[in-house]
Amino acid sequence: MKYICPSCERTIYNRRLTNCEFCSTVLPRELLFSESDIERLDKQHQDCLTRKSKINSNSSSSSIDITSSDFGDCGGCD
């Protein structure tokens, strides 16, 4: 689903923000992440960083192909 600002009709890239990044209009609640969504995403991101840290600390002692690991949709794990 694509989330669009009802005022300026631009894509909403950060559903944690209460205002549109382009026109500053207050966004309707149904376009934003709920508190439980934010908590889930924060935990998923933290888990991803923890796995990445473990992989990096083990990489000197073994050969791990990190491209084959499934990190899901955590976004920030590059």
Q: What is the pLDDT of residue 1?
A: 80
**pTM score of the predicted model:** 0.59
Q: What is the pLDDT of residue 77?
A: 55
The H or E element containing residue 25 is none
Report residue 7 as tokens.
């005022």
Mean pLDDT, consecutive 10-residue segments, the chain of 78 residues?
95 96 97 96 94 77 51 53
Give, in degrees to the nearest 5, the angle at Cα 22 between 19 and 28.
30
Q: What is the pLDDT of residue 60?
A: 56
Q: What is the pLDDT of residue 35?
A: 95
Q: Which residues face 4 on adjacent strands?
A: 11
Q: What is the pLDDT of residue 59?
A: 66
